[in-house]
Chain A
């Protein structure tokens, strides 16, 4: 299936479902090194997103992303709201009026989303944040697109890299966010934002 508006809407549905399914796990991850609200906050956010998407009508993937952005920003309540909200907002701008995303546009969308998170949270790779999932995903997508892969394969490369990126946060000491207060005690725990990033990108693959 092409990465069109129907795909974007299905991505939202699958994201809401996967966040709901993994809510307890994300809560546990966040309780270990943060404030424990990541799973609840994201679940509440994507429920609100799903309601808004079900109620609206959309002509482009970009229009869907924009609704996701504004709903997450206004409903999540924790850092994930502004961070994922900014990601989707920048993704919407990069997608523009395109009715479906080709491989190069997809790379531009993912890059813009990642850059939005960086500009909002000021984190770099290795800080034990969602950027540790986002940046490998963007790099893998760019490599796949340059190799002439289809949009679906580019997306899959991004999602696989995000999973590996989330795993890579386990041995790290956190330098941003609530986990940074814990110092060495954060070592051995996976960053919940990196994990939810991996789930969200996996949902995009499943929708394609």
Chain B
């Protein structure tokens, strides 16, 4: 199944920039930007969203990422005007637009179905329940006096470096029934970040085994990027499942290769 991604922002620059950012890690995924109003101003365009969904007609499913409230309202309105069979293919994610788009694109790049893509996008939210309301105030209960981003940081649930990285949905505990593991040092300049992190996720996703790197899901790009592991850092790769050994060997070889840098 192919999943296309539509990025709906009030700003054309945000939409196209988010698409460019995601494309860097997901070159084969159809990503379409629908940002700004028809006349180039700030706002969301019913026509651009409708055209974007049309542009993704070849995809088996479309996942839509939005920024602020009226992006969701305009998207929902556009969906109301679609034929039932088209509308059934379109899924709106509540995830934060930039992190969610990147995570969704990588999941789509690694062959994920629409559920996997939506789950990946949701995993980009910092901490489960409050994150969806933070990114979607129209449907949420915004009773706090502060803006949603500080709220999210202040929730204290994120234990990642710099206090701004996302955590994987399934937490950071040790894997059950570890069948294979290794410890290896990062030799490349950028460490386990950006493109190397994406390569790591793509490799991990080729195996059925559950794989963890330093305790986080090795198939979660944002979880791995949140570890912020630099050159020289030691990574522990653990896997469980039938092809655990193969997965660990492949990932170890990838790390030792320096990700081609």
Task: Please state if A82 and B76 are interface contacts (CB–CB under 8 Å).
Answer: yes
Compute how far the CA of A92 lies from the CA of B73 in the bound complex, rounded to whole angstroms: 20
Q: Does B139 sit within 8 A of A, measured CB to CB?
A: yes
* Cβ of A181 under 8 Å from chain B: yes
B137 CB within 8 Å of chain A: yes
Q: How far is the CA of A180 from the CA of B70 in the complex (A)?
A: 13
Q: Which residues of A contact B77 (CB under 8 A)?
A: 73, 81-82, 85-86, 120
Does B145 count as interface, using CB distance less than 8 angstroms? yes
Are B146 and A81 interface neighbours, CB within 8 A?
A: no
Return the contact of A120 from the options B43, B73, B137, B142 (Cβ within 8 A): B73
**Smallest CB-CB separation from B42: which chain A residue?**
A37
> A75 contacts which chain B residues (CB < 8 A)?
38
Cα A75 to Cα B77 in complex, Å, equals: 13
B123 within 8 A of A: no
Give the interface residue-count category, chain A: 20 to 34
Q: In the complex, how many angstroms separate the beta carbon of B23 from the nearest chain A beta carbon?
A: 26
Q: A82-B74, A121-B138, A183-B145 are in contact. Are A77 and B68 (CB under 8 A)?
A: no
Check: B147 CB closer than 8 A to any chain A CB.
yes
B137–A121 touching, CB < 8 Å: no
Question: In the bound complex, do residue A177 and residue B38 qualify as a contact, i.e. CB atoms below 8 Å apart?
Answer: no
Whether A12 is near chain B, meaning CB under 8 Å from some CB there, is no
Q: Give the size of the chain B interface in residues (CB under 8 angstroms).
A: 28
Q: Which A residues between 76 and 110 are near B, CB-CB below 8 angstroms?
A: 76-79, 81-83, 85-86
Among B74, B142, B145, B146, which residue has the most Cβ atoms of chain A within 10 A?
Answer: B142
CB distance from B45 to the nearest CB of A (A): 7
Query: Nearest chain B CB to A45's CB is how many angstroms away?
Result: 11
B41 within 8 A of A: yes
Chain A positions 5 through 26: 1 when the CB is less than 8 Å from some CB of chain B, otherwise 0: 0000000000000000000000
Q: Per-residue 0/1 for A167-188: is the Cβ within 8 Å of any B Cβ (1 yes, 0 no)?
A: 0000001111110111111000
Distance between Cα atoms of A176 and B142 in the complex (Å) = 7
* Given A82-B70, A120-B76; A77-B43 close (CB under 8 Å): yes
Give the nearest-CB partner of B47 in chain A: A74
Q: How far is B68's CA from A74's CA once the two chains are assembled, in angstroms?
A: 18
Residue contact B137 to A78, C-beta cutoff 8 Å: no
**A60 at the binding interface (Cβ < 8 Å):** no
Q: What would 18 A/B residue contacts be, using CB atoms closer than 8 Å?
A: A74-B46, A74-B47, A76-B43, A77-B37, A77-B42, A81-B70, A81-B77, A82-B73, A86-B77, A121-B73, A174-B142, A175-B141, A176-B142, A177-B69, A177-B137, A178-B69, A180-B140, A182-B145
Other CB < 8 Å A-B pairs besides A176-B142, A177-B138, 14 of them?
A74-B45, A77-B43, A77-B44, A78-B44, A79-B70, A82-B46, A120-B76, A175-B142, A175-B143, A176-B69, A181-B137, A181-B147, A183-B145, A184-B145
